[in-house]
Structure 1
Amino acid sequence: MTYDNILLEQDDSVATLTINRPEKLNGLDVRTVEEMLNAVQKVRDDDAVRALIITGAGRGFSSGADLSAGGSGGGTSGRPDAGKVLETHFNPLLENMMALNVPIITAVNGPAAGAGCSIALFGDFVICAESAYFLQAFVNIGLVPDVGSTWLLPRVIGRARALEMMMLGEKVPAEKALDWGMVYRIVPDAELMDAASSLARRFASGPTRAYALIRQGIRDCMDKPLSEGLRAERQNQMHAGRTGDFAEGVQAFLQKRKAEFKGA
């Protein structure tokens, strides 16, 4: 696929996906989401990639779904189906992000609103610039939060704060987001990509398969009873223990040196 609305770049083992519609504040139309899904699948299929950064070009991460582009989908009785594009585009993107076998770092510059807020917060590590803010804007146009927001936010910040974000539709600045536990770190605007790249390089030199199992384990266990979670951990540990990185980690520990993980 040729990309018109995103950039996908690779530096050694780190891939960077940049939403590249700065004139639309990186609004997410159907084409952009299709390109993002294709890029995530490329990362999935490339064993050389061991970490992914997602960010936005220009002065913001993403203003959310591009309402000016339409795309509400068909409906009955002449009424639009605003949920259709979720089923056909946004939800597959999110599922592919969650199932990825490498860590995702989201570098949030400026506003992350609506669907852009959801995508930003689904990063494993959310690094945001001091000027960043998060906005669940759906209620302001008579819609409900989507792209995983109602699943994720109550788990991350609790029911009361999730209701505050979703029903009041007010901005959550970077400092409040950090206080609420929504983000990993805040940095000066000029240092955002350096901070994201430094963390990505750390992951790119780490035990990639263990990272994948950790991501999957958390997803599997969030809604399971303890007994099922324990069984999932047991299976994941079996797989992790069979990797070359585990053997290298043990040898490095015994030899009192830094491990040189290969991601295998």
Structure 2
Amino acid sequence: MATEVEQHVNVRAHDGVGLIQLNRPEKMNAIGALTRQQLGEAIKQAEKDDAIRVVVLTGSGRAFCSGADVTEMANDGGMRSPEDVGNVLRNEYMPMLTRLRTMPKPVIAAMNGPAVGIGASFALACDIRIATPEAYLMEAFVNIGLAPDGGVSWLLPRLVGTGVAYEMFFTGKQLSAADAHRLGVINRIVPADQLEHEVREFAAQLATQPRQAMAAAKRAVNHALESSFEDALEFE
């Protein structure tokens, strides 16, 4: 008798909007091996599906994503050495995060709660962030003697500046939704009971915008982040 596979990621599509929802509320949506597999497939399909014009990434329950499932890692999880961790980052996380940043359609992070560690990387890799007042970003790697990973050393300084990024990396302190909004990291803050509605309305609005224009804008911004001002002008 076949064993039913747990659904760690919910996927829905409606009127051009694809929703990808981490579905481990009892684990604060921590990402383990099965979650990585299902999330990677969901992001890949959202990128390929021409009927999906806008992608929304969110969590279920009280958290957006609390980071990697350290309990699973400690018990086994296929990561017994630094080399194993490196392979997972390179072969699983890197393709997902790169797809979010480069797919030719807007990606919205609906931050229903904290985004910690690799969870913060997923939020920061999205194009737009809409959050509840209770949401926050946190880079807690220093608390366990590790350097930042998941591309956050590239993503975070470009959004908050090097000073704030260093402080977060060195101390593991939280960046509240209010402070993140003030710094321009979070686009808007909405009450928790209105988040789903606000994100749905905004995503529906984007889904009516010219597809090629949005894709071109995203390509241009990504190119500009990695080039000189003159190169950006030429690319445009």
Q: TM-score, normalised by structure 2?
A: 0.92
Alignment partners' CA distance in 2, 1:29 and 1:54? 17
Q: Is the 8 A contact 1:18 1:55 kept in 2?
A: yes
Moved more, 19-28 or 80-89: 80-89
Q: Is the 8 A contact 2:67 2:120 kept in 1?
A: yes
Aligned to 1:42: 45
Give ranges in structure 2 of 5+ residues lacking alignment.
Answer: none
Aligned to 1:73: 79
Bigger Rg over Cα? 1
1:105 aligns with 2:140: no
Amino acid at match of 1:42: Q
Q: Among residues 120, 123, 128, which one is paired with 2:126 in the alignment?
A: 123
Aligned to 1:151: 154
Q: Among residues 216, 221, 226, which one is paired with 2:224 in the alignment?
A: 221
Q: CA RMSD in A?
A: 1.5
Alignment partners' CA distance in 2, 1:23 and 1:219? 36
Aligned to 1:256: none
Deviation at 1:3, TM superposition (A): 7.0
1:135 aligns with 2:116: no
Q: Is the 8 A contact 1:72 1:84 kept in 2?
A: no
1:211 aligns with 2:214: yes
Aligned to 1:168: 171
Q: Is the 8 A contact 1:113 1:135 kept in 2?
A: yes
Q: 1:80/1:44 Cα in 2 relative to 1: closer, same or farther (>3 Å)?
A: closer
SS at match of 2:38: helix
Amino acid at match of 1:103: P
Q: Is the 8 A contact 1:74 1:84 kept in 2?
A: no
1:63 aligns with 2:55: no
SS at match of 1:49: coil
Deviations 1:127-161 (A, max 9, x none): 00011111111111111111111001111111100
Aligned to 2:30: 27
Alignment partners' CA distance in 2, 1:16 and 1:191? 16
Alignment partners' CA distance in 2, 1:81 and 1:46? 32
Amino acid at match of 2:132: A
Aligned to 2:189: 186
Alignment partners' CA distance in 1, 2:198 and 2:169? 29
SS at match of 1:28: coil
SS at match of 1:121: helix
SS at match of 2:104: coil
Deviation at 1:73, TM superposition (A): 3.3
Deviations 1:168-204 (A, max 9, x none): 1011111111112211000111011111111100110
Identical pairs, percent:
35
Q: Among residues 12, 15, 36, which one is paired with 1:9 in the alignment?
A: 12
